[in-house]
Structure 1
């Protein structure tokens, strides 16, 4: 009887000891995108690219002591209030320790100011391009893997001058994205000797923009530069401009490089439609990502997938280096991609994890290029000028 009691006591003590060991918690990061709203057609591919990075991390040992990296998807609706709400839920309810996104500039500005910066959470946006993001008072917590629209707008202006477009009208959606891009374009286009025959903002969600288009066309330009979203108001304006013959040629920014206009209007009706967008630099990293994303069922030519992948993989690397402590993620993010250390390509998580554990410096070589952040968390980038072909968008020329 005594031996049974001793055995029972030992078992209870062992069970108590096991129960006192805390279970390994998942490491959560937010994936905050424009799941609904004007970039709804773009968002799924971007989220899938980030999820590819997460799956590679988990397949090669996970985070720290084997914890799983989990992406918590939230819908910013591509607007400030939606971004704030999604970020609030991710931080305060889900307990994320880092964030990829939001996708849209207005959501980035609002969510960072109201949620992530006060909470000390690092945010890496793969597609928030407004120049205003550069100026956020962020305590070094807001980064982006896509270049500012200040660069895109100016590069597009120079490209159009080189292509022989000397006179254009400009329509832009009245938000942080459209305004920043339009102003950068206008400044450079006029500095290069171009003429802006019309320059006007428009509000989102109207049924008709015919009067806006007629006013812009009255200046005598045959080309409309349209800074908007191809899944939303930009599509409506493009359709109505074509139906009414207001302009002959249409040129969009990256927000217009969407399959929605092609699917809705037909490639045969868009032979004079062009768009600018960031592109990954030709590299082993880009080839590696393209192969992995294709194998996972993704489209490597979809816009912002390289920057979305890089944002997630870099955030994971920074969290690993910081030991999962959100306080050290900002500094670690700069350290894992600064041009110094052992090169790490997309998907090389096991290699990176081993080097980090050994205290060896690493340098992530991204699918979208080398993300060596400046003091504002910005990166340089490469853009291309696209046309609509039989198989979707085709590169016309690189933009400088």
Structure 2
């Protein structure tokens, strides 16, 4: 069989498998990935369509009739009816974070509250949006059940940037113009976060991203923070593992040149490799129209690559998975957190065994933490790192608002040298750059039954 035909068959197989995925699992729906770069898309929605404190359903996928009825009730200020309907909806779908946030807001009703917003990529990355919302909803539920922030409850406005740069800036402007909003959890991808950060910084509105890792965000403004470690940590961890654990010196890198995240991680990784005497023997653009997985792997082998490093973003997950299949476990594989997805286990399967990924958090890494158990009880299943770090971002906002519940006061609180908050992934502190000073977790693909696909991600000890 010719190499060209083999590649075509592999690609067809990949596409068919992807088409079969979208069904009923929810546990591993949460198992991450990073940004889909839809910056070339345009948005025709008004800002009113992009946000809701409970008066409209934003995540329409599998929305119950009760949730629909509840949003209509909230729009008419009938909070008692909304509470009843949302409680009924959550009995049907306990893992629906939008419903829980709306329920918490309905219970607040018209009383005084401190308001924050969460910006997520609904429509473009619905699973990721829900994962982030679960972290925010859990933190909101906990603080309100505990009596609020110095007796004042926390209200959350859900908003969607659709992972689009123009939409993200429009949304940021809308949020910034609402004086009730004191802080924002978001955005999802590094590209949308960078676009929106300009608006938040100019308006003096704190934004904390739980998922954007690009080094370009470091020091972009004193109102811009993140609870996820930057790519500097992930790139360094991967380089150290390649050089010190695998004892290999030569790598080929696969990345998306159109993604800030992917470029950021690639640059950090290659810099660390070169600094320690290693070599990058080839770079392959997964986003190129001419990219061919079989040709790229063959070329990497001819250039004496000893390992393949997959630094894809969500938009280039499919060609990255094809690389894993074509490689067929011939060369060791390493990658960034965008490969921390169910597709990697389900599609790549046995070819992904021993793949090493750098991720911000893993549910099994800290068995003594109370967060995973609480989250599992609340949602009826395990959560991933996006939920954990969205929880941390919300906890940071809560801790800051306890010090000073104003926009400027919140920024000053988060920037203070003595600021600390307790999060799912440990103590939350921010560097002057707005970054969080925290290491990443390396995970490995092994045979197992936790995911339901026959393979699992497990932390390296």
Is it true that 1:382 corresponds to 2:446 in the alignment? Answer: no
Counterpart-to-counterpart distance in 1, 2:159 and 2:368: 27
Counterpart-to-counterpart distance in 1, 2:115 and 2:279: 50
Aligned-partner SS, 1:199: strand
What's the counterpart of residue 224 of structure 1?
Answer: 308
Is it true that 1:309 corresponds to 2:386 in the alignment? Answer: no
Query: In the TM superposition, what is the alpha-carbon distance from 1:319 to its structure 2 partner?
Result: 1.9
Query: In the TM superposition, what is the alpha-carbon distance from 1:331 to its structure 2 partner?
Result: 1.1
- Kept in 1, the 8 Å contact 2:233–2:439? The answer is no
Query: In the TM superposition, what is the alpha-carbon distance from 1:98 to its structure 2 partner?
Result: 0.6
Query: In the TM superposition, what is the alpha-carbon distance from 1:238 to its structure 2 partner?
Result: 1.6
Counterpart-to-counterpart distance in 1, 2:281 and 2:159: 41
RMSD: 3.0
What's the counterpart of residue 39 of structure 2?
Answer: none
- Kept in 2, the 8 Å contact 1:45–1:298? The answer is no
Is it true that 1:124 corresponds to 2:212 in the alignment? Answer: no
1:269-308 aligned within 5 A: 269-279=351-361, 287-297=369-379, 299-300=381-382, 302-308=384-390
1:240-279 aligned within 5 A: 240-243=323-326, 248-266=331-349, 268-279=350-361
Query: In the TM superposition, what is the alpha-carbon distance from 1:284 to its structure 2 partner?
Result: 8.9
Q: Aligned pair in 2 of structure 1 residues 313, 261: CA closer, same or farther (>3 Å)?
A: same
What's the counterpart of residue 3 of structure 1?
Answer: none
- Deviation per CA, 1:318-338, whole angstroms, max 9, x where unpaired? 123213x21211112245x83
Match of 2:263 among 179, 182, 185: 179
1:56-135 aligned within 5 A: 56-66=142-152, 68-92=153-177, 95-113=180-198, 115-135=199-219
Counterpart-to-counterpart distance in 1, 2:311 and 2:278: 18
- Kept in 2, the 8 Å contact 1:227–1:234? The answer is no
Match of 1:152 among 196, 212, 234: 234
After alignment, is 371-380 or 242-251 more displaced? 242-251
What's the counterpart of residue 331 of structure 1?
Answer: 412
Query: In the TM superposition, what is the alpha-carbon distance from 1:64 to its structure 2 partner?
Result: 4.8
Aligned-partner SS, 1:287: coil
Query: In the TM superposition, what is the alpha-carbon distance from 1:300 to its structure 2 partner?
Result: 4.9
What's the counterpart of residue 344 of structure 1?
Answer: none
Query: In the TM superposition, what is the alpha-carbon distance from 1:207 to its structure 2 partner?
Result: 9.0
Q: TM-score, normalised by structure 2?
A: 0.67
Could you tell me which runs of 5 or more consecutive residues in structure 1 were left unpaired when the two chains were aligned: 1-22, 340-362
Counterpart-to-counterpart distance in 1, 2:274 and 2:134: 40
Q: Aligned pair in 2 of structure 1 residues 334, 288: CA closer, same or farther (>3 Å)?
A: farther
Counterpart-to-counterpart distance in 2, 1:275 and 1:368: 18
Q: Aligned pair in 2 of structure 1 residues 55, 238: CA closer, same or farther (>3 Å)?
A: same
- Kept in 1, the 8 Å contact 2:238–2:334? The answer is no
Query: In the TM superposition, what is the alpha-carbon distance from 1:247 to its structure 2 partner?
Result: 5.8
Query: In the TM superposition, what is the alpha-carbon distance from 1:96 to its structure 2 partner?
Result: 2.4
Q: Aligned pair in 2 of structure 1 residues 281, 302: CA closer, same or farther (>3 Å)?
A: closer
Counterpart-to-counterpart distance in 1, 2:326 and 2:426: 40
Query: In the TM superposition, what is the alpha-carbon distance from 1:149 to its structure 2 partner?
Result: 0.8
Counterpart-to-counterpart distance in 1, 2:122 and 2:319: 20
Q: Aligned pair in 2 of structure 1 residues 281, 298: CA closer, same or farther (>3 Å)?
A: closer
- Kept in 1, the 8 Å contact 2:281–2:305? The answer is yes
Q: TM-score, normalised by structure 1?
A: 0.76
- Kept in 2, the 8 Å contact 1:125–1:145? The answer is yes
Counterpart-to-counterpart distance in 2, 1:69 and 1:205: 47
- Kept in 2, the 8 Å contact 1:213–1:246? The answer is no
Look at both structures and tell me which one has the larger radius of gyration over its CA atoms: 1
What's the counterpart of residue 163 of structure 1?
Answer: 245
What's the counterpart of residue 44 of structure 2?
Answer: none
Number of residue-to-residue matches in the alignment: 343
What's the counterpart of residue 87 of structure 2?
Answer: none
Counterpart-to-counterpart distance in 1, 2:340 and 2:241: 17
Query: In the TM superposition, what is the alpha-carbon distance from 1:148 to its structure 2 partner?
Result: 1.4
Counterpart-to-counterpart distance in 2, 1:80 and 1:330: 24
